[in-house]
Amino acid sequence: MAGGASGLGAATARALHGAGAVVTIADVNEEKGRALVSELGERVTFAQCDVGDESQVKAAVVQAAQAAGGLRVSVCCAGIGWAERTSSKRGAHRLVPFETVLRINLIGTFNVLRLAATAMNENEPLEDGERGVCINTASIAAFDGQIGQIAYSASKGGITAMTLPAARDLAGRGIRVVTIAPGTFDTPLLGALPQEARDQLAAQIPFPSRLGSPAEFASLALHVVTNPMLNGEVIRLDGALRMPPR
């Protein structure tokens, strides 16, 4: 569970654990990660993990693979945002933030995907031939990027675009790949906004006209795990929201 210490990741870790899974919470935030381990108790461990660091992801994957049953489910929710226009009165978009967002969101997701899938290759197939499922997190910004979201949208668009080829690459080994593209969700990032701003965001959503709950993301992730025909698909989870330009 990469990025599993807070927000969508923590909700998914709780849901998987509640369904009986042995969970490895991999996150850069050790304090929050270990607090969640203490909350959940048995069948859960923490691994310090920057998704952009190959050695740390390898160590987290090995830790998960050594649990009873091996690594069968990989969920990657790790990511950051950045707001800056391609060009403005202040000049061109800075290159370093753009590279950083892509390194963490896109390359980090690919790093988790490739290493988790390689570990799943070693699993004994289940009755239907499945060895595992990899769930990645994009965003509706991949489709409806707003002003100032070029870095974020590019990173999430990359995750969206690699879903089908990854699923095709791994089909012969019985490993599924699915991406969830959430809309506006009530995560710690939005929790820092004033209530008026949160209400304005919620009002944009056709139905239900509220922010999404991390538990709803987790519920979809669990459904993906249990539905073997979901493969190579990007699922929007957004209450029919189509983001305006700003």
**End-to-end Cα spacing for the chain:** 32
Kindly report the number of other CB atoms within 10 A of residue 180's CB atom.
Answer: 23
Residues 68 and 73: their CA atoms lie apart, in Å, by 13
Residue 191 has pLDDT above 80, yes or no: no
Q: What are the domain boundaries of the chain?
A: 7-79+113-147+159-236
Residues 197 and 151: their CA atoms lie apart, in Å, by 23
What pLDDT is stored for residue 8 in this prediction?
97
What pLDDT is stored for residue 194 in this prediction?
82
Three-state secondary-structure class, residue 233:
strand
Tokens 């009165």, located at residue:
89
Contact (Cβ atoms closer than 8 angstroms) between residue 110 and residue 103:
no
Mean pLDDT of 160-164: 98
Q: What is the pLDDT of residues 10-58, one digit of tens each?
A: 999 999 999 999 999 999 999 999 999 999 999 999 999 999 999 999 9
Residue 190 has pLDDT above 80, yes or no: no
* DSSP assignment letter at 214: H
Residues classed as catalytic: 152
Contact (Cβ atoms closer than 8 angstroms) between residue 159 and residue 198:
no
For 7-79+113-147+159-236, the fitting CATH number among 1.10.3720.10, 3.30.2130.10, 3.40.50.720, 3.40.50.1110 is 3.40.50.720
- Describe the crossing of helices 214-226 and 7-18 by its angle, rounded to 10 degrees: 50
Mean of pLDDT over the chain? 94
What pLDDT is stored for residue 67 in this prediction?
81
What pLDDT is stored for residue 225 in this prediction?
98
Measured CA to CA in angstroms, residue 239 lies from 12, 68, 242 at distances of 19, 37, 9
State what percent of residues in the chain have pLDDT above 70: 100
Q: What is the pLDDT of residues 62-106, one digit of tens each?
A: 999 888 789 999 999 999 999 999 999 999 999 999 999 999 999
Mean pLDDT of 152-164: 98
Residue 61: pLDDT band (50, 70, 90) is: very high
Tokens 């995750």, located at residue:
159
